[in-house]
Amino acid sequence: MSSVSPDRSQTPPPVPRTFAEYIRSFGPGIVVVLTWLGAGDVVDMGVAGSNYGYSLLWVLVVAVVMRFLFVSLIARYQLCNQHGEGVLDGLARLHPWYAPALFFAAILMGHVYGAYMTVGVGETCRNLFRFGATWHWALLCNAVALVLVFRPAYERLEWAFKFFLAVLSISFVGCAVWVGFNPVGLLQGMYRLEMPDHAGKFNPMLVAVAMIGAVGGSLMNLVYPYFLEAKGWRGPQYRRVQFYDFLLAVTVMMILNLAIWTLGAELLYPDKQIKTLDDLPRLLSAMLGEGGRWLFYLGIFAAIYTSVLGHSAGLAFMGSHAWLRWQAGSGPITSDYRQHRLYRWIVLWCLITPMVWTIPGMPDFVTLTLVANSAQVVLLPVLAGGLWWITASSRYIGAAFRNRWWENMVMALLFALAIYGAINSVRSIEQFVKGG
Protein backbone atom coordinates (compact mmCIF):
# COMPACT_ATOMS: atom_id res chain seq x y z
CA MET A 1 0.00 0.00 0.00
CA SER A 2 1.30 3.45 -0.87
CA SER A 3 -0.08 6.94 -0.80
CA VAL A 4 0.53 10.00 -2.90
CA SER A 5 0.94 13.03 -0.65
CA PRO A 6 0.38 16.54 -1.98
CA ASP A 7 3.20 18.81 -3.03
CA ARG A 8 5.95 16.21 -2.71
CA SER A 9 7.78 17.93 -5.54
CA GLN A 10 8.06 21.24 -3.66
CA THR A 11 11.15 22.10 -1.63
CA PRO A 12 10.49 21.21 2.02
CA PRO A 13 10.94 23.96 4.62
CA PRO A 14 14.32 24.10 6.38
CA VAL A 15 14.65 22.23 9.67
CA PRO A 16 14.99 24.87 12.42
CA ARG A 17 18.23 24.97 14.39
CA THR A 18 18.05 28.10 16.55
CA PHE A 19 15.45 29.28 19.05
CA ALA A 20 14.29 32.04 16.72
CA GLU A 21 13.92 29.58 13.83
CA TYR A 22 11.83 27.29 16.02
CA ILE A 23 9.51 30.15 16.98
CA ARG A 24 9.07 31.18 13.35
CA SER A 25 8.37 27.56 12.34
CA PHE A 26 5.58 26.94 14.83
CA GLY A 27 2.09 26.68 13.36
CA PRO A 28 0.39 23.27 12.89
CA GLY A 29 0.03 22.77 16.64
CA ILE A 30 -1.71 26.13 17.05
CA VAL A 31 -4.02 25.38 14.12
CA VAL A 32 -5.09 21.97 15.43
CA VAL A 33 -5.41 23.10 19.08
CA LEU A 34 -7.62 26.05 18.17
CA THR A 35 -9.63 23.69 15.98
CA TRP A 36 -10.18 21.56 19.10
CA LEU A 37 -10.68 24.57 21.42
CA GLY A 38 -14.14 25.61 20.42
CA ALA A 39 -17.72 25.50 21.56
CA GLY A 40 -17.11 22.27 23.44
CA ASP A 41 -14.47 23.77 25.69
CA VAL A 42 -16.35 27.01 26.36
CA VAL A 43 -19.48 25.11 27.38
CA ASP A 44 -17.91 22.09 29.07
CA MET A 45 -15.43 24.10 31.15
CA GLY A 46 -18.02 26.74 32.02
CA VAL A 47 -20.66 24.13 32.98
CA ALA A 48 -18.16 22.14 35.06
CA GLY A 49 -16.95 25.26 36.88
CA SER A 50 -20.44 26.65 37.50
CA ASN A 51 -21.96 23.36 38.69
CA TYR A 52 -19.04 21.79 40.56
CA GLY A 53 -16.52 24.53 41.32
CA TYR A 54 -12.97 23.17 41.04
CA SER A 55 -13.83 19.59 42.03
CA LEU A 56 -13.79 18.13 38.49
CA LEU A 57 -10.52 19.73 37.38
CA TRP A 58 -8.73 16.38 37.55
CA VAL A 59 -10.84 15.25 34.57
CA LEU A 60 -9.38 18.12 32.55
CA VAL A 61 -5.84 17.06 33.50
CA VAL A 62 -6.55 13.44 32.49
CA ALA A 63 -8.13 14.59 29.23
CA VAL A 64 -5.21 16.86 28.27
CA VAL A 65 -2.58 14.22 29.06
CA MET A 66 -4.65 11.66 27.15
CA ARG A 67 -4.80 13.87 24.09
CA PHE A 68 -1.11 14.82 24.23
CA LEU A 69 -0.02 11.17 24.28
CA PHE A 70 -2.53 10.16 21.66
CA VAL A 71 -1.67 12.87 19.20
CA SER A 72 2.08 12.56 19.78
CA LEU A 73 1.85 8.95 18.63
CA ILE A 74 -0.20 10.02 15.63
CA ALA A 75 2.46 12.58 14.70
CA ARG A 76 5.25 10.04 15.16
CA TYR A 77 3.58 7.64 12.74
CA GLN A 78 2.94 10.44 10.25
CA LEU A 79 6.56 11.60 10.24
CA CYS A 80 8.54 8.43 10.94
CA ASN A 81 6.79 5.32 9.60
CA GLN A 82 8.83 3.09 7.29
CA HIS A 83 6.24 3.15 4.48
CA GLY A 84 6.23 6.93 3.97
CA GLU A 85 2.43 6.95 4.29
CA GLY A 86 -0.16 8.87 6.24
CA VAL A 87 -1.86 7.75 9.44
CA LEU A 88 -5.09 6.95 7.63
CA ASP A 89 -3.14 4.75 5.20
CA GLY A 90 -1.61 2.93 8.17
CA LEU A 91 -5.03 2.29 9.70
CA ALA A 92 -6.29 1.05 6.32
CA ARG A 93 -3.24 -1.23 6.12
CA LEU A 94 -4.32 -2.64 9.50
CA HIS A 95 -7.87 -3.22 8.23
CA PRO A 96 -9.47 -2.00 4.99
CA TRP A 97 -12.69 -1.05 6.78
CA TYR A 98 -10.97 1.94 8.38
CA ALA A 99 -11.07 3.87 5.09
CA PRO A 100 -14.86 3.73 4.53
CA ALA A 101 -15.48 4.07 8.28
CA LEU A 102 -13.45 7.29 8.47
CA PHE A 103 -15.05 8.59 5.27
CA PHE A 104 -18.55 8.20 6.71
CA ALA A 105 -17.39 9.47 10.11
CA ALA A 106 -16.06 12.64 8.45
CA ILE A 107 -19.42 13.18 6.75
CA LEU A 108 -21.52 12.43 9.85
CA MET A 109 -19.40 14.34 12.36
CA GLY A 110 -18.94 17.19 9.90
CA HIS A 111 -22.65 17.83 10.32
CA VAL A 112 -22.75 17.06 14.05
CA TYR A 113 -19.79 19.31 14.87
CA GLY A 114 -21.10 21.95 12.52
CA ALA A 115 -24.50 21.92 14.23
CA TYR A 116 -23.39 23.33 17.56
CA MET A 117 -20.59 25.47 16.11
CA THR A 118 -22.94 27.15 13.62
CA VAL A 119 -25.55 27.78 16.31
CA GLY A 120 -22.80 28.97 18.66
CA VAL A 121 -21.24 31.48 16.29
CA GLY A 122 -24.69 32.81 15.37
CA GLU A 123 -25.75 33.19 19.02
CA THR A 124 -22.43 34.81 19.91
CA CYS A 125 -22.72 37.50 17.24
CA ARG A 126 -26.40 38.10 18.01
CA ASN A 127 -25.69 38.50 21.73
CA LEU A 128 -22.61 40.63 21.12
CA PHE A 129 -24.20 43.11 18.71
CA ARG A 130 -27.76 42.76 20.06
CA PHE A 131 -29.55 42.79 16.74
CA GLY A 132 -30.43 40.29 14.04
CA ALA A 133 -31.37 36.63 14.36
CA THR A 134 -29.06 33.69 15.07
CA TRP A 135 -29.45 32.34 11.55
CA HIS A 136 -28.57 35.72 9.99
CA TRP A 137 -25.19 35.82 11.73
CA ALA A 138 -24.56 32.10 11.25
CA LEU A 139 -25.15 32.44 7.52
CA LEU A 140 -22.78 35.42 7.26
CA CYS A 141 -19.99 33.76 9.30
CA ASN A 142 -20.24 30.43 7.47
CA ALA A 143 -20.16 32.24 4.13
CA VAL A 144 -16.89 33.95 5.09
CA ALA A 145 -15.51 30.59 6.28
CA LEU A 146 -16.45 29.07 2.94
CA VAL A 147 -14.37 31.70 1.14
CA LEU A 148 -11.38 30.96 3.39
CA VAL A 149 -11.32 27.14 3.15
CA PHE A 150 -13.12 26.23 -0.10
CA ARG A 151 -9.71 25.99 -1.76
CA PRO A 152 -6.82 24.86 0.48
CA ALA A 153 -4.45 27.69 1.44
CA TYR A 154 -2.61 26.63 4.59
CA GLU A 155 -0.45 29.74 5.02
CA ARG A 156 -3.49 32.00 5.05
CA LEU A 157 -5.22 29.68 7.52
CA GLU A 158 -2.21 29.65 9.86
CA TRP A 159 -2.00 33.44 9.99
CA ALA A 160 -5.74 33.65 10.73
CA PHE A 161 -5.35 31.19 13.60
CA LYS A 162 -2.41 33.10 15.09
CA PHE A 163 -4.51 36.28 15.05
CA PHE A 164 -7.41 34.53 16.78
CA LEU A 165 -4.99 33.04 19.35
CA ALA A 166 -4.03 36.57 20.38
CA VAL A 167 -7.73 37.47 20.72
CA LEU A 168 -8.40 34.34 22.79
CA SER A 169 -5.47 34.94 25.12
CA ILE A 170 -6.40 38.56 25.80
CA SER A 171 -10.07 37.65 26.26
CA PHE A 172 -10.13 34.52 28.43
CA VAL A 173 -6.94 34.99 30.45
CA GLY A 174 -7.63 38.70 30.83
CA CYS A 175 -11.16 38.06 32.14
CA ALA A 176 -9.96 35.36 34.55
CA VAL A 177 -7.26 37.62 36.01
CA TRP A 178 -9.70 40.52 36.20
CA VAL A 179 -12.28 38.46 38.10
CA GLY A 180 -9.71 36.68 40.27
CA PHE A 181 -9.49 33.03 41.29
CA ASN A 182 -8.72 30.69 44.21
CA PRO A 183 -5.22 29.21 43.55
CA VAL A 184 -5.51 26.65 46.39
CA GLY A 185 -8.86 25.39 45.13
CA LEU A 186 -7.47 25.30 41.59
CA LEU A 187 -4.49 23.14 42.59
CA GLN A 188 -6.55 20.82 44.80
CA GLY A 189 -9.08 20.28 42.04
CA MET A 190 -6.32 19.13 39.70
CA TYR A 191 -5.22 16.21 41.88
CA ARG A 192 -8.24 15.23 44.03
CA LEU A 193 -10.00 12.33 42.29
CA GLU A 194 -13.62 12.87 43.26
CA MET A 195 -17.02 12.76 41.56
CA PRO A 196 -19.31 15.38 43.14
CA ASP A 197 -23.04 15.00 43.69
CA HIS A 198 -25.46 15.92 40.90
CA ALA A 199 -25.98 19.69 40.66
CA GLY A 200 -27.76 21.72 38.00
CA LYS A 201 -29.25 20.49 34.74
CA PHE A 202 -26.37 18.20 33.73
CA ASN A 203 -25.15 15.25 35.82
CA PRO A 204 -21.40 15.15 36.61
CA MET A 205 -20.79 11.98 34.60
CA LEU A 206 -22.22 13.60 31.46
CA VAL A 207 -20.07 16.69 32.04
CA ALA A 208 -16.95 14.58 32.66
CA VAL A 209 -17.51 12.40 29.58
CA ALA A 210 -18.25 15.49 27.49
CA MET A 211 -14.91 16.96 28.60
CA ILE A 212 -13.09 13.80 27.54
CA GLY A 213 -14.90 14.03 24.22
CA ALA A 214 -14.05 17.69 23.70
CA VAL A 215 -10.48 17.62 25.04
CA GLY A 216 -9.20 14.10 25.59
CA GLY A 217 -9.88 12.43 22.31
CA SER A 218 -12.06 12.68 19.23
CA LEU A 219 -12.13 12.15 15.51
CA MET A 220 -10.45 15.54 15.16
CA ASN A 221 -7.18 14.11 16.50
CA LEU A 222 -6.77 12.52 13.07
CA VAL A 223 -6.75 15.86 11.23
CA TYR A 224 -3.41 16.88 12.78
CA PRO A 225 -1.36 14.92 10.18
CA TYR A 226 -3.02 16.91 7.39
CA PHE A 227 -1.87 20.20 8.89
CA LEU A 228 1.66 18.76 9.29
CA GLU A 229 1.52 17.73 5.63
CA ALA A 230 0.29 21.17 4.58
CA LYS A 231 3.15 22.81 6.51
CA GLY A 232 5.63 20.66 4.57
CA TRP A 233 6.87 18.64 7.56
CA ARG A 234 7.60 15.18 6.15
CA GLY A 235 10.16 12.81 7.61
CA PRO A 236 11.84 12.09 10.98
CA GLN A 237 13.98 15.24 10.73
CA TYR A 238 10.88 17.31 11.63
CA ARG A 239 10.05 15.25 14.72
CA ARG A 240 11.75 17.64 17.17
CA VAL A 241 10.14 20.84 15.85
CA GLN A 242 6.78 19.04 15.72
CA PHE A 243 7.15 17.98 19.37
CA TYR A 244 7.95 21.50 20.62
CA ASP A 245 5.25 23.00 18.42
CA PHE A 246 2.63 20.64 19.82
CA LEU A 247 3.85 20.96 23.42
CA LEU A 248 3.52 24.73 23.24
CA ALA A 249 0.07 24.45 21.68
CA VAL A 250 -1.22 22.01 24.33
CA THR A 251 0.14 24.27 27.09
CA VAL A 252 -1.81 27.16 25.55
CA MET A 253 -4.92 24.97 25.38
CA MET A 254 -4.60 24.06 29.07
CA ILE A 255 -4.22 27.70 30.13
CA LEU A 256 -7.23 28.82 28.11
CA ASN A 257 -9.39 25.97 29.44
CA LEU A 258 -8.40 26.80 33.02
CA ALA A 259 -9.30 30.44 32.42
CA ILE A 260 -12.82 29.50 31.26
CA TRP A 261 -13.23 27.07 34.15
CA THR A 262 -12.15 29.75 36.62
CA LEU A 263 -14.81 32.13 35.33
CA GLY A 264 -17.52 29.52 35.78
CA ALA A 265 -16.32 28.60 39.27
CA GLU A 266 -15.89 32.17 40.51
CA LEU A 267 -18.96 33.79 38.94
CA LEU A 268 -21.59 31.03 39.02
CA TYR A 269 -20.70 28.34 41.57
CA PRO A 270 -22.56 27.23 43.70
CA ASP A 271 -25.81 29.16 43.25
CA LYS A 272 -26.09 29.56 39.47
CA GLN A 273 -25.60 27.34 36.43
CA ILE A 274 -24.96 27.89 32.74
CA LYS A 275 -28.19 27.44 30.82
CA THR A 276 -27.56 29.73 27.84
CA LEU A 277 -24.50 31.07 26.03
CA ASP A 278 -25.18 34.52 27.51
CA ASP A 279 -24.89 33.54 31.20
CA LEU A 280 -21.16 34.12 31.70
CA PRO A 281 -20.96 37.31 29.59
CA ARG A 282 -24.00 38.73 31.39
CA LEU A 283 -22.37 38.25 34.78
CA LEU A 284 -19.10 39.66 33.49
CA SER A 285 -21.02 42.69 32.29
CA ALA A 286 -22.55 43.15 35.74
CA MET A 287 -19.16 42.79 37.45
CA LEU A 288 -16.76 44.40 34.97
CA GLY A 289 -19.07 46.60 32.93
CA GLU A 290 -19.90 46.51 29.24
CA GLY A 291 -16.20 46.15 28.41
CA GLY A 292 -16.09 42.81 30.22
CA ARG A 293 -19.03 41.52 28.22
CA TRP A 294 -17.45 42.54 24.91
CA LEU A 295 -14.07 41.13 25.92
CA PHE A 296 -15.46 37.71 26.76
CA TYR A 297 -17.73 37.50 23.73
CA LEU A 298 -14.79 38.25 21.43
CA GLY A 299 -13.02 35.28 22.99
CA ILE A 300 -16.05 33.03 22.52
CA PHE A 301 -16.29 34.09 18.89
CA ALA A 302 -12.58 33.41 18.28
CA ALA A 303 -12.82 29.97 19.93
CA ILE A 304 -15.87 28.87 17.95
CA TYR A 305 -14.88 30.43 14.63
CA THR A 306 -11.44 28.82 14.55
CA SER A 307 -13.24 25.53 15.10
CA VAL A 308 -15.58 26.25 12.20
CA LEU A 309 -12.57 26.85 9.94
CA GLY A 310 -10.44 23.99 11.24
CA HIS A 311 -13.22 21.39 11.28
CA SER A 312 -14.40 22.11 7.76
CA ALA A 313 -10.87 22.08 6.31
CA GLY A 314 -9.58 19.15 8.40
CA LEU A 315 -12.59 16.89 7.86
CA ALA A 316 -12.57 17.71 4.15
CA PHE A 317 -8.90 16.64 3.98
CA MET A 318 -9.60 13.43 5.87
CA GLY A 319 -12.84 12.61 4.08
CA SER A 320 -11.30 13.12 0.65
CA HIS A 321 -8.22 11.08 1.58
CA ALA A 322 -10.38 8.29 3.07
CA TRP A 323 -12.47 8.13 -0.11
CA LEU A 324 -9.40 7.88 -2.34
CA ARG A 325 -7.86 5.22 -0.08
CA TRP A 326 -11.14 3.28 -0.09
CA GLN A 327 -11.30 3.37 -3.88
CA ALA A 328 -7.63 2.47 -4.33
CA GLY A 329 -7.74 -0.49 -1.95
CA SER A 330 -4.19 -1.64 -1.25
CA GLY A 331 -2.82 0.09 -4.34
CA PRO A 332 -1.32 3.58 -4.71
CA ILE A 333 -3.45 6.71 -4.59
CA THR A 334 -2.89 8.61 -7.81
CA SER A 335 -4.78 11.82 -6.93
CA ASP A 336 -4.01 14.69 -4.56
CA TYR A 337 -6.69 14.57 -1.88
CA ARG A 338 -6.53 18.36 -1.43
CA GLN A 339 -7.32 19.05 -5.06
CA HIS A 340 -9.98 16.36 -5.40
CA ARG A 341 -13.50 17.70 -5.94
CA LEU A 342 -14.72 15.75 -2.90
CA TYR A 343 -12.69 18.10 -0.67
CA ARG A 344 -14.83 21.02 -1.82
CA TRP A 345 -18.07 19.04 -1.50
CA ILE A 346 -17.27 18.13 2.11
CA VAL A 347 -16.44 21.75 2.92
CA LEU A 348 -19.86 22.74 1.55
CA TRP A 349 -21.52 19.96 3.56
CA CYS A 350 -19.82 21.05 6.81
CA LEU A 351 -20.74 24.72 6.39
CA ILE A 352 -24.19 24.60 4.79
CA THR A 353 -26.17 21.65 6.22
CA PRO A 354 -25.75 22.69 9.90
CA MET A 355 -27.74 25.85 9.15
CA VAL A 356 -30.90 23.80 9.75
CA TRP A 357 -30.12 23.85 13.49
CA THR A 358 -30.44 27.66 13.58
CA ILE A 359 -34.19 27.43 12.86
CA PRO A 360 -36.18 28.68 15.90
CA GLY A 361 -37.40 25.85 18.13
CA MET A 362 -34.38 23.59 17.57
CA PRO A 363 -32.28 22.43 20.58
CA ASP A 364 -30.21 25.13 22.27
CA PHE A 365 -26.45 25.59 21.87
CA VAL A 366 -25.43 24.22 25.29
CA THR A 367 -27.48 21.02 24.93
CA LEU A 368 -26.23 20.39 21.38
CA THR A 369 -22.63 20.82 22.50
CA LEU A 370 -22.74 18.51 25.53
CA VAL A 371 -24.60 15.71 23.77
CA ALA A 372 -22.43 15.91 20.61
CA ASN A 373 -19.17 15.86 22.58
CA SER A 374 -20.35 12.92 24.66
CA ALA A 375 -21.51 11.02 21.58
CA GLN A 376 -18.13 11.27 19.87
CA VAL A 377 -16.47 9.35 22.72
CA VAL A 378 -18.10 6.24 21.26
CA LEU A 379 -15.56 6.47 18.40
CA LEU A 380 -12.59 6.56 20.75
CA PRO A 381 -12.03 2.79 21.35
CA VAL A 382 -11.86 2.06 17.61
CA LEU A 383 -9.39 4.88 17.02
CA ALA A 384 -7.37 4.17 20.18
CA GLY A 385 -7.07 0.47 19.40
CA GLY A 386 -6.02 1.03 15.80
CA LEU A 387 -3.50 3.74 16.63
CA TRP A 388 -2.02 1.62 19.41
CA TRP A 389 -1.57 -1.28 17.01
CA ILE A 390 0.13 0.59 14.17
CA THR A 391 2.46 2.53 16.50
CA ALA A 392 3.44 -0.56 18.51
CA SER A 393 4.20 -2.88 15.61
CA SER A 394 7.48 -2.75 13.68
CA ARG A 395 5.52 -4.09 10.70
CA TYR A 396 3.74 -0.74 10.44
CA ILE A 397 5.83 2.04 11.93
CA GLY A 398 9.21 0.29 11.75
CA ALA A 399 11.48 -1.07 14.47
CA ALA A 400 13.28 2.24 15.07
CA PHE A 401 10.16 4.19 16.06
CA ARG A 402 7.73 1.65 17.54
CA ASN A 403 6.36 2.24 21.02
CA ARG A 404 8.58 1.58 24.00
CA TRP A 405 7.29 -0.67 26.78
CA TRP A 406 6.04 2.22 28.92
CA GLU A 407 4.25 3.78 25.95
CA ASN A 408 2.46 0.49 25.36
CA MET A 409 1.44 0.43 29.02
CA VAL A 410 0.09 3.96 28.73
CA MET A 411 -1.77 3.09 25.53
CA ALA A 412 -3.27 -0.01 27.20
CA LEU A 413 -4.55 2.25 29.99
CA LEU A 414 -5.90 4.78 27.49
CA PHE A 415 -7.61 2.01 25.52
CA ALA A 416 -9.30 0.77 28.71
CA LEU A 417 -10.36 4.34 29.55
CA ALA A 418 -11.70 4.72 26.01
CA ILE A 419 -13.93 1.67 26.41
CA TYR A 420 -15.10 2.85 29.83
CA GLY A 421 -15.77 6.35 28.48
CA ALA A 422 -17.74 5.00 25.52
CA ILE A 423 -19.97 2.86 27.78
CA ASN A 424 -20.62 5.75 30.16
CA SER A 425 -21.20 8.08 27.23
CA VAL A 426 -24.08 5.92 26.01
CA ARG A 427 -25.52 5.66 29.53
CA SER A 428 -25.18 9.38 30.23
CA ILE A 429 -26.84 10.39 26.96
CA GLU A 430 -29.65 7.91 27.56
CA GLN A 431 -30.19 9.29 31.06
CA PHE A 432 -30.07 12.88 29.78
CA VAL A 433 -32.59 12.20 27.00
CA LYS A 434 -34.94 10.57 29.51
CA GLY A 435 -34.61 13.65 31.68
CA GLY A 436 -32.74 11.92 34.48
**Three-state SS at 376:** helix
Q: Tell me which amino acid residue 382 is.
A: V
Please state the rounded mean pLDDT for residues 243-256: 92
| Domain presence at residue 12 | no
| Domain presence at residue 82 | yes
pLDDT digit string (tens) for 289-321? 888 888 888 998 999 999 999 999 999 999 999
| Domain presence at residue 9 | no
Q: What is the CATH number of the domain that holds 225?
A: 1.20.1740.10
pTM of the model: 0.87
pLDDT computed for residue 257 by the predictor:
87
Query: Is the pLDDT at 200 greater than 80, yes or no?
Result: no
Least confident of 270-274, 334-338, 407-411: 270-274
pLDDT digit string (tens) for 145-190? 999 999 988 999 999 999 999 999 999 898 888 888 788 878 888 8
Cα 94 from Cα 383, distance rounded (Å): 12
DSSP code of residue 215: I
Q: How many domains does the chain have?
A: 1
Q: Tell me which amino acid residue 28 is.
A: P
| Domain presence at residue 22 | no
Domain that holds residue 366: 28-433
Q: Tell me which amino acid residue 214 is.
A: A
| Domain presence at residue 13 | no
Label residue 393 exposed, middle or buried (CB < 10 Å: 0-12, 13-18, 19+): middle
Query: Is the pLDDT at 195 greater than 80, yes or no?
Result: no
| Domain presence at residue 11 | no
Q: Is residue 309 a contact partner of residue 157, using CB atoms and an 8 Å limit?
A: yes
pLDDT-derived band of residue 286, with 50, 70 and 90 as boundaries? confident
